[in-house]
Amino acid sequence: MKKKSVLKKILVTVAVVLLLLTGATAVYVSDYYHAAEEAITYINEPAEGVKTDTSEKGVIIFEPAEIKAGLIFYPGAKVEYTAYAPLMEKLAEKGILVVLLKMPLNIAFLGINAAKDYPARWPEVENWYIGGHSLGGVCASMFLKNHLDEYRGLLLVASYTTTDFSGSSLNCLSIYGSNDKVLNLDKYNEAKVNLPSDNREAVIQGGNHANFAWYGDQKGDGEAAIDRLTQINTAAETISSWMNKQ
């Protein structure tokens, strides 16, 4: 009888712990940065010469009339992927075909292989790039490690790579805002050893972490000294120029 009582207490304790963990997980994944309404207009009303395709669940394709290069993009942690529509649309205006991916529970670590097979859909596109914002850039580079033959370059937006590409011929661009307080600059600088020696770095003066997308302010971020669209337009110009010169 005593053994049954002990077993019952153990089962009840396990059930309570599982319930608490489930509740904590639900709270964590539901607490994320939502895309602003303004960001959605770039999907529904793209600029002339740009088509958007939302027919595939969890994917938005921004296709220019004349494709110069392709980009697979991973969003930052706990950020709704549609918040990146303004930057992606601006890149498409400059001839970049963009595949913007939604991550499971808005966490790129849970969707590292999300980019698989996309370049093969557009065999006419010779130069493909992959990248992401913040944690998205870290995870995109983890995917790239086993797919180097498919991509010409890596784009790190307020991000860095923990994967060693130093001995590769990969083209890399690291871009971030001077007022970014979310990006850990110590880790960013330490991680530079993982990049090829000709890695290009661009710092947007007055820009911060969150304003590469449109989801409002981010906790712990620095205050931007330039407006959001100025940062997005500057980023699009820098990124597209880098790609088109490869």
Residue 27: the pLDDT is 37
Q: In terms of C-beta density within 10 A (0-12 exposed, 13-18 middle, 19 or more buried), how is residue 169 classed?
A: exposed
Helix (H, G, I), strand (E, B) or coil at 81: helix
Name the DSSP class of 213: S
Cα-based angle 42, 44, 48 (whole degrees, multiple of 5):
70
Tokens of 155: 């784009």
Instruction: For domain 34-244, give the CATH number.
Output: 3.40.50.1820
Helix (H, G, I), strand (E, B) or coil at 30: helix
Beta bridge partners of residue 51, listed in sequence order: 63
Question: How far is it, in rounded angstroms, from Cα 152 to Cα 189?
Answer: 23
Strands 153-157 and 50-53, bridge-based pairing: unpaired
Residue 3: the pLDDT is 56
Give every strand in the sheet of 128-133, ordered side by side.
50-53, 59-64, 96-101, 69-74, 128-133, 153-157, 171-177, 200-204
Q: What is the DSSP string of 104-123?
A: GGG-GGGGGGGGTTSGGG-T
Closest Cα to residue 232, out of 221, 240, 243, 223?
A: 240
The ranges assigned to domains in the chain are 1-31, 34-244
pLDDT in tens, the chain (246 residues): 555 565 544 544 444 333 333 333 443 445 899 999 999 999 999 999 999 999 999 999 999 999 999 999 999 999 999 999 999 999 999 999 999 999 999 999 999 999 999 999 999 999 999 999 999 999 999 999 999 999 999 999 999 999 999 999 999 999 999 999 999 999 999 999 999 989 999 999 999 999 999 999 999 999 999 999 999 999 999 999 999 886
Buried b (16+ CB within 10 A) or exposed e, 136-162: bbbbbbbbbeeeeebbbbbbbbbbbbe
203 in Cβ contact with 178 (< 8 Å): yes
Q: Answer whether 0.85 is exceeded by the pTM.
A: yes
Residue 5: the pLDDT is 60
